[in-house]
A = this chain, B = another copy of it.
Amino acid sequence: MSLSPPESQLAALSLQAISHDSPANNGEWASILAAQGLDHSYELIKVLVFKPKTAKSATVVPIVLIALNDTVAPAGLIAKLVGAKDPRLASADLVAEFFDGLAPCALGPLSINQINATKIKVVLDKALVDSDTKLAFHPSSVDQTVFMSGSEITAYLESIGCDAPVCDFAALATSSASASSKDSTAKKDTKKDSASAKKDGKIDGAALVGITADKELDFPGWYSQIVTKGEMLDYYDVSGCYIMRPASYFVWEQIQDYFNFRIKAMGVQNAYFPMFVSNRVLEKEKDHIEGFAPEVAWVTRAGNSELDEPIAIRPTSETVMYPYYAKWIRSHRDLPLKLNQWNSVVRWEFKHPQPFLRTREFLWQEGHTAHLNFEDANEEVLEILDHYAGIYKDLLAVPVVKGVKTEKEKFAGGLFTTTVEGFIPTTGRGIQGATSHCLGQNFSKMFNISVENPEGADKEKLFAWQNSWGLSTRVIGVCVMVHSDNKGLVLPPRVAQLQSVIVPCGLTVKTTAEDRDAIMANAKSVEKALKAVGIRASADTRDNYSPGWKFANWELRGVPLRLELGPADLKKNQVMAVRRDTGEKIPMPIADLAIAVPALLETIHDDMYNRAKALFDSHIVKVDTWKEFITALNGKNVVLAPWCGEMACEEHIKEKSARKDDGEEEEEEDEKAPSMGAKSLCVPFEQPELLEGTRCVCSGKLATKYTLFGRSY
């Protein structure tokens, strides 16, 4: 049913109504269409009303689906899209109640008006929105048929203020990968993108283009779209596992290079230990394993054989590595031993998973070192922490606060834990960025990692002082959450796989072949010139997408700098540079690009960092009283408060600062988020002056340190 009438005819047919009165049978109907040049080149649509399961005391909000007649739209999926429960086809009575007495069969898109739009939820079928052919339906009366295009239907709904998410039911039905329904959820402001895309009519993928959830209003929905549509990640058919697509893996590779360079200079060597741990070894350090045991994945079978003993997949490698440290370290001359590995670990969490932030398998590096004395170990712990802060600041343009964890929050079995703490301004929640632990001698005593005393064999043997330190792909999630916006990803230049895209534009049907060739050739030569100075650049010379579509697409994917090159620019021997982070447009002489582009990318990095830093700083609220504490916390801040340092008090703070559900949309994503109590994030190294006699914000005892508290991921 999808034939293509000439464009001119389609234009003439907008909102053309056909009376059903005169031609009463199908044959006549067809002949009327033929007479109007339509020749069956239309599609039928359907408008269905669902009633979700609703508490008796609550108001019913019906869901209206507007879809191509052929689209299969499962009720369960519709329910998910609008956050409703168990929707069933509505009774005729309910339809009449909401639509001025209309029968279900008479409903059309035009049955929705400014008044009833506020009482219902509307879901649009992407196939309908994108359809090139005319769509036939009843204009609230079965005796007439109206023809509108998909974009006209969405324009109408927009005009009456009806906010309708668009769902790609067709893609979901044909996709063999089930993944999540999230990345096919979208709201109507995508229309702009799809409209511009449709203009050149050349998009042949069915995927919805732009971000359709607002960062401020629907942060979880926004984040999910950002990472999937920005092609950082895809959902996977094993729950809690995600695919790291090239854009995010590239970030990880930059982090690897940065960190490897620095730790190798410290004498750390990379190695690889097996992913499997025997139960016996895993359980050796009780304190340590207690925290991990509920999340350990067990292999019990190989092929068709049951294993004699189940084998664990490492949740972390202390117990994997330390028996060998005991074997390899015989003399004080074998110290320090400094190994690091880049690997994946598995923690089968049962909490709500989140891309990059909480995943059942994740990539990380884990460093494990052994030293002869505390001083050496301590020095390394802090040096590593500096490198972690450097990854955030120098690569990801994300500010962090360095500090030490409280006894309650430190790594179980270790001596103390240092941390870099980040902040997600939109949710007001803190997030642990990476941790560097001094393990003391706890593990070395457990695993007998000891050496003869260098002062003499008659002196007591010495147990090694150990550290472990780790940073995971979570950093990528933090970076995305901090910088990206409603247009898509905003990637910091140093980790962006593509740093600058050159887009030819201003080409029309009137452009001569010569001019077109000159533009294309110049775009290519700019690419070449930038690559020659180490910039990851690409000229987007595809002729099947419009410049507008390309702009939107590269913005979605977070490319830091777009260089527009049109005939007018070329005449001036310039390009128009457009910053992704600010949208600022800067004309640049082509001759200067090899210097100006690298410099601008550095500026973008610095500006991104400085903006994020100013925002974080403005959200660190220093308080003195509990009342201020709660007010600041509920104002989406983290709180710097004088604290007594006692674990019982910390637990009390958490309890007292928890609050009831305040109905934020976030609830659906992570039920605990807004209601959770405040945890201590860290005792920052950089301390405000603690005046003598300052009291703990909670216990009223003498405060020992200012401590950073917050709701956190």
A2's nearest neighbour on chain B, judged by CB, is: B457
Report whether B243 and A273 are in contact in the complex, using a CB–CB cutoff of 8 Å.
yes
A302 touches B271 (CB 8 A): no
Closest to A270 in B: B249
Task: Kindly identify which residue among B177, B241, B242, B339 contacts A326, using a CB–CB cutoff of 8 Å.
Answer: B177
Contact of A250 with B270 in the complex, beta carbons under 8 Å = yes
Q: Mark A286-301, 1 if CB is under 8 A from B, else 0.
A: 0000000111111111
Contact partners of A313 in chain B: CB under 8 A: 299, 313
Contact between chains at A275 and B326 (CB < 8 Å):
no
Q: Flag whether A204 is at the interface (Cβ < 8 A).
A: yes
Is there a chain B Cβ closer than 8 Å to A525's Cβ? Answer: no
Residues 244-271 of A at the B interface (beta carbon under 8 Å): 244-246, 249-250, 252-253, 269-271
Cβ contact within 8 Å between B204 and A333: yes
A205 to B334, CA, bound (A): 9
Decide yes or no: A297 and B293 within 8 Å by CB, A234-B324, A243-B271, A274-B241 being known contacts: no
In-complex Cβ contact of A299 among B207, B298, B452 (8 A): B298
Closest chain B residue, CB of each to CB of A242 = B274
Q: Does A236 contact B (CB under 8 A)?
A: yes
**Do residues A204 and B331 form an inter-chain contact, with CB atoms below 8 A?**
yes
- Expressed in whole angstroms, the minimum distance between the Cβ of A314 and any Cβ of chain B is 11
- Chain B residues near A252 (CB-CB < 8 A): 272
Please, which residues of chain B bring their CB within 8 A of the CB of A238?
A: 274, 276-278, 311
- What CA separation (Å) do A313 and B300 show in the bound complex? 12
Does A310 sit at the interface, judged by CB under 8 A?
Answer: yes
State whether the Cβ of A175 lies closer than 8 Å to any Cβ in chain B.
yes
Judging by beta carbons under 8 Å apart, are A304 and B294 in contact?
A: yes
Cβ-defined contact, B301 with A205, below 8 A: no
Minimum C-beta distance from A553 to chain B (A): 12
Residue of B nearest to A299 (CB): B297
A548 to B249, CA, bound (A): 47
The answer to whether A327 touches B177 (Cβ under 8 A) is: yes
Closest to A273 in B: B243
Whether the pair A296, B302 counts as a contact (CB closer than 8 A) is: yes
Give the complex CA separation of A304 and B350 in angstroms.
12
Contact partners of A331 in chain B: CB under 8 A: 204-205
Contact of A244 among B271, B298, B305, B542 (CB under 8 A): B271
Nearest CB in chain B to that of A245: its residue: B271
> Within 8 Å CB of A270, what residues of B?
246, 249-250, 253
Q: Does A163 contact B (CB under 8 A)?
A: no
Residue A303 CB within 8 A of the other chain = yes
| A222 part of interface (Cβ distance < 8 Å) | no
Chain B nearest CB, measured from A557 CB (Å): 13
Bound complex: CA A348 to CA B307 (Å):
11
A334–B207 Cα gap in the complex (Å)? 13
Interface status of A647 (Cβ within 8 A of chain B): no
Q: Are A298 and B295 in contact (CB under 8 A)?
A: no
Is A517 interfacial (CB 8 A cutoff)? Answer: no
B236 close to A274 (CB less than 8 A): yes
How far in angstroms is the closest Cβ of chain B from A200? 13
- In the bound complex, do residue B303 and residue A296 qualify as a contact, i.e. CB atoms below 8 Å apart? yes
- Cα(A346)–Cα(B346), bound, Å: 15
Question: How far, in angstroms, from A342 to B497 measured CA to CA in the complex?
Answer: 18
Contacts of A276 in B (CB 8 A): 238, 241, 360-361
Within 8 Å of chain B (Cβ to Cβ): is A506?
no
- Complex contact A293–B301 (CB within 8 A): no
The yes or no answer to A330 lying at the interface (CB within 8 A) is yes
- Please tell me if the beta carbons of B272 and A363 are within 8 angstroms of each other in the complex: yes
Complex contact B296–A237 (CB within 8 A): no
Asked whether any CB of chain B lies closer than 8 Å to the CB of A323, the reply is yes
User: Considering only CB atoms and an 8 Å cut-off, how many residues of chain A contact the other chain?
Assistant: 73
Write out the residue numbers on chain B whose beta carbons fall within 8 Å of the beta carbon of A206: 330
Q: A176 near B: Cβ within 8 Å?
A: yes
Per-residue interface assignment for chain A, residues 201 to 243, with 1 indicating a CB less than 8 Å from any chain B CB and 0 otherwise = 0001111000000000000000000000000001011100111
Interface membership of A25, Cβ < 8 A: no
Q: How many whole Å from A264's CB to the nearest CB in chain B?
A: 10
Task: Name the residue of chain B whose CB is nearest to the CB of A341.
Answer: B249
* Interface residue A190 (Cβ < 8 Å from any Cβ of B): no
With contact pairs A246-B270, A276-B238 given, residues A176 and B304 touching in the complex (Cβ less than 8 Å): no
Least Cβ distance of A291 to chain B in Å?
A: 12
Residue of B nearest to A204 (CB): B331
Alpha-carbon gap, A234 to B304, bound state (A): 29
Chain B residue with the shortest CB-CB distance to A284:
B176
A196 within 8 A of B: no
Residues of B within 8 A of A245 (CB): 271
**Any chain B CB within 8 A of the CB of A373?**
no
Q: Interface digits, A318-336 against B, CB 8 Å rule (1 contact, 0 not)?
A: 0000011011101101100
Residue A378 CB within 8 A of the other chain: no
- Name the CB-closest residue of B to A338: B246
Let me know if A207 and B330 touch, CB within 8 A.
yes
Asked if A59 lies at the interface with its beta carbon under 8 angstroms from chain B, I say: no
A238-B277, A276-B238 known; A179-B327 Cβ under 8 A: yes
A344 interface residue per 8 A CB criterion: yes
Asked if A629 CB lies within 8 Å of chain B CBs, one says no
**When chains A and B are docked, how far (Å) is the Cα of A216 from the Cα of B143?**
96
Alpha-carbon distance between A271 and B276 when the two chains are bound, in angstroms:
23
Residue A392 interfacial (CB < 8 Å): no
A447 CB within 8 Å of chain B: yes
Residues of B within 8 A of A175 (CB): 326-327
A192 to B439, CA, bound (A): 41
Give complex CA distance A250, B270 in Å: 7
Say yes or no: B275 contacts A361, CB within 8 Å.
Answer: yes
Report the Cα distance A344→B253, complex, angstroms: 17
A448 at interface, CB cutoff 8 A: yes
Besides A242-B274, A244-B271, 19 other A-B contacts (C-beta < 8 A): A176-B323, A176-B447, A206-B330, A236-B274, A238-B274, A238-B277, A241-B276, A243-B324, A246-B269, A246-B271, A275-B344, A275-B361, A276-B361, A298-B299, A298-B301, A300-B300, A300-B301, A303-B348, A344-B344
16 contacts between A and B (CB under 8 A): A177-B324, A204-B331, A207-B330, A237-B323, A243-B273, A244-B272, A244-B273, A249-B269, A250-B270, A253-B270, A275-B361, A296-B303, A297-B301, A297-B302, A300-B301, A333-B542
The 9 lowest CB-CB distance pairs between A and B, nearest first, are A302-B348, A246-B269, A241-B274, A294-B303, A177-B323, A177-B327, A244-B272, A205-B330, A298-B301
